[in-house]
Structure 1
Amino acid sequence: MLSSGRRRLFSALLQVQKRPCQPSRDMRLVQFQTPHLEEPHLGLESGIGGGVVDLNTFDPTLPKTMMQFLEQGETSLSVARRALATQLPILPRSQVTFLAPVTRPDKVVCVGMNYADHCKEQNVRVPKEPIIFSKFSSSIVGPYDEIILPPESEEVDWEVELAVIIGKKGKHIKATDAMAHVAGFTVAHDVSARDWQMRRNGKQWLLGKTFDTFCPLGPALVTRDSIADPHNLKICCRVNGEEVQSSNTNQMVFKTEDLIAWVSQFVTLYPGDVILTGTPPGVGVFRKPPVFLKKGDEVQCEIEDIGVIINRVV
């Protein structure tokens, strides 16, 4: 039997779902757990809001973590393609606990001020080069996990973002070659403690961005070839059902290719690395008066063709 919290979650999922649940030809890779599994498995989400096909049951030789799956490259992807083309049992969504599509990556790279309309909201110039900061990978939680308000902050804010997941190792990657290094895309929530980001610790952004549970991801890693144009997707955030952010990824100042080329000048990118590509306008800190998350709030972050993550604040 579902808990009251899980019932509310699945009710919210049905409300935001834009099309009926049906098998999908898009490759939507997930990490999941059920009460009958001793450890997490890899799966295929059968469409936005749909159930899950267990890839490890389909082929027991497949790794059971997304990191290992991505490291194997085409070997694992070919198995997933075969599963996608096969009629397989689908586990109902109500029986599955979704984990973040990637856990414990080598790095989580974040990009600030990367939406033209977000820059306009703050009355600042569009950056001439990407503004890079980071989160620790320990901040990552699943697409429906709770966000914990830290007692150290009173100004916790929301930020919906498109996340890029790296599939192939590279350094000094040319922009023209960058998409070959992308495994796919997912939805991210860059939860931000504005007091720590903007006023504390020398105004460095790291601590304000990396409290535990400050990086919900999911629900699926949608592979690169399943997204027609990642830079033309509707993106929005709702708090307690009210739309607070609404834009399109075409507002990104630096696109995926540019970000990969820029970041890989400084660090080697590894399979599983996550790049959060920035947020559109509508965050709480720039509202008049400012609005911040509080206990009991529910945040929905949604990106067209990728899905929605729903996180309750506790």
Structure 2
Amino acid sequence: MKLVSFRITTPVGPFTRVGAIHGQHVVDLNLAYVRWLSDQHEAQPYRLANAQVPSNMLEFLEGGLSTMAAARRAVDYAAMLGPSTKGPVGETIAHGAGDVRIIAPLPAPSSLRDFIAFEDHIAATSQKRGQPIPPEWYKAPVYYKGNHRTIIGPDEDLPWPLETTKLDYELELACVIGRTGKDVAEREAEDYIAGYTIMNDFSARDVQFQEMACRLGPAKGKDFATALGPCLVTPDEIRDLGALTMTARVNGEEWSRGRFGTIHWSFPQMIAHVSCGEMIYPGDVFGSGTVGGGCGLELDRYLKPGDVVELEIQPIGLLRTKVVGPAPRG
């Protein structure tokens, strides 16, 4: 499934719902399941659907395998009935893709960890500092904890942050955890992944490097925004994760191209490492870190007000962000 969070406007205000992309439509999973339960003559279809297929993405992920199974049943049933099918009291189940606003698939993650897992990227950034790759990097996957409260979604503007003169994008794939666990073995870790999405770990490089010179961070240099989207693709939709092509374009010009299979530390290795001695939870986001060549820092090119950044990884889709100014003077 390609899971999305989408926003609809109603006479009583806006609502955010969980959906699945099906052709040119977004299926409201909760209402599709309500319709299925109603047609099975359940006495309380709304109450059961709210428990089994919640309309909030974090609660949906917390439902685990049983919620995923119910959601698949709901999508299949809605597809069989057709896009004009309504809920028991006339609710819209299938929305035209252009009639709703797709937001970040997980607008409020439980946590955000971003790794530096591509050897080509850490080699390039270390070389810029006149240093070799730290030998410690090869001992375990390393990460920082980002601000999970500043998530933005597809086609959402990024206001120019801080007083930076070196605003950068970072081309990443992210996995989202779907099960609670602790001390997860690497061989079992894939079973804890609910799905994958595109991640743009925006960075103010000058602020970041000033912070990290003090042996801490990054913090303010990255905490202002992380883009996720456009959807959360379940693992069964991706045959070969390593074969995924990752591209970045700025104003239509390709700046970066890489392949996920060049990663050194895998998602299962990340999960095993993080869960060692501590809990992981549904809705935790693990960023892969930047693919080799996947940021302006490596290219000595930075973003400007008005730039449109597009990250693309198929079959997930396209994550587009427009940078809006003004930039600081100086």
Q: In 2, Cα distance between the equivalents of 1:167 and 1:82?
A: 19
The residue type paired with residue 169 of structure 1 is T
Q: Report matched runs for 1:8-19 at 5 Å.
A: none
Q: In 1, Cα distance between the equivalents of 2:14 and 2:305?
A: 32
Alignment of 1:207 with 2:220, yes or no, is yes
Question: How far has the Cα of 1:56 moved from its partner?
Answer: 2.3
Partner of 1:132: 143
Partner of 1:218: 229
TM-score normalised by L of structure 1: 0.84
Q: In 2, Cα distance between the equivalents of 1:173 and 1:58?
A: 34
Partner of 2:306: 296
Partner of 1:103: 107
The residue type paired with residue 313 of structure 2 is I
Partner of 2:317: 307
Q: Report matched runs for 1:61-72 at 5 Å.
A: 61=49, 62-72=53-63
Partner of 2:208: 197
Q: In 1, Cα distance between the equivalents of 2:150 and 2:247?
A: 22
SS in 1 for 2:15: coil
Q: In 1, Cα distance between the equivalents of 2:161 and 2:312?
A: 24
Q: In 2, Cα distance between the equivalents of 1:121 and 1:236?
A: 18
Alignment of 1:269 with 2:280, yes or no, is yes
SS in 1 for 2:182: coil
Alignment of 1:44 with 2:20, yes or no, is yes
Partner of 2:88: none
Question: How far has the Cα of 1:152 moved from its partner?
Answer: 2.7
The residue type paired with residue 28 of structure 2 is D
With 64-73 and 226-235 compared, the bigger mean Cα shift is at 226-235
The residue type paired with residue 133 of structure 2 is R
Q: In 2, Cα distance between the equivalents of 1:100 and 1:158?
A: 17
The residue type paired with residue 100 of structure 1 is A
Q: In 2, Cα distance between the equivalents of 1:266 and 1:161?
A: 27
Partner of 2:95: 91
Between Structure 1 and Structure 2, how many residues are aligned? 281
Q: In 2, Cα distance between the equivalents of 1:200 and 1:64?
A: 39
Q: Report matched runs for 1:153-172 at 5 Å.
A: 153-172=164-183
Partner of 1:33: 7
Partner of 1:121: 124
The residue type paired with residue 121 of structure 1 is A
Partner of 1:17: none
Q: In 1, Cα distance between the equivalents of 2:60 and 2:242?
A: 26
Question: How far has the Cα of 1:71 moved from its partner?
Answer: 0.8
Q: In 2, Cα distance between the equivalents of 1:309 and 1:210?
A: 19
User: What stretches of structure 2 of length at least 5 have no aligned partner?
Assistant: 35-48, 84-93, 325-330
Q: In 1, Cα distance between the equivalents of 2:211 and 2:64?
A: 42
The residue type paired with residue 57 of structure 1 is L
Partner of 1:73: 64
SS in 1 for 2:229: strand
Percent identical pairs in the alignment equals 34
Task: Please say if residues 231 and 255 of structure 1, whose CA atoms lie closer than 8 Å, have aligned partners that are also in contact.
Answer: no
Question: How far has the Cα of 1:295 moved from its partner?
Answer: 1.1
Task: Please say if residues 246 and 282 of structure 1, whose CA atoms lie closer than 8 Å, have aligned partners that are also in contact.
Answer: yes
The residue type paired with residue 73 of structure 2 is R
The residue type paired with residue 196 of structure 1 is V
The structure 1 segments of at least 4 consecutive aligned residues displaced by more than 6 Å after TM superposition are: none
Q: In 2, Cα distance between the equivalents of 1:310 and 1:258?
A: 29
Q: In 2, Cα distance between the equivalents of 1:151 and 1:121?
A: 26
Alignment of 1:82 with 2:73, yes or no, is yes
SS in 1 for 2:196: strand
SS in 1 for 2:242: coil
Q: In 1, Cα distance between the equivalents of 2:281 and 2:133?
A: 32
The residue type paired with residue 294 of structure 1 is K
Structure index of larger Rg = 2
The residue type paired with residue 34 of structure 1 is I
Task: Please say if residues 144 and 309 of structure 1, whose CA atoms lie closer than 8 Å, have aligned partners that are also in contact.
Answer: yes
Task: Please say if residues 143 and 219 of structure 1, whose CA atoms lie closer than 8 Å, have aligned partners that are also in contact.
Answer: yes
Which structure shows the higher strand fraction?
A: 2
Distance of aligned partners of 1:209 and 1:235 in 2 relative to their CA distance in 1, 3 Å threshold = same
SS in 2 for 1:164: strand
What whole-Å deviation, never above 9, does each CA across 1:169-218 have from its counterpart, x for those lacking one?
A: 1111110010111101011111011112112362521221111xx21111
TM-score normalised by L of structure 2: 0.80
Question: How far has the Cα of 1:43 moved from its partner?
Answer: 0.5
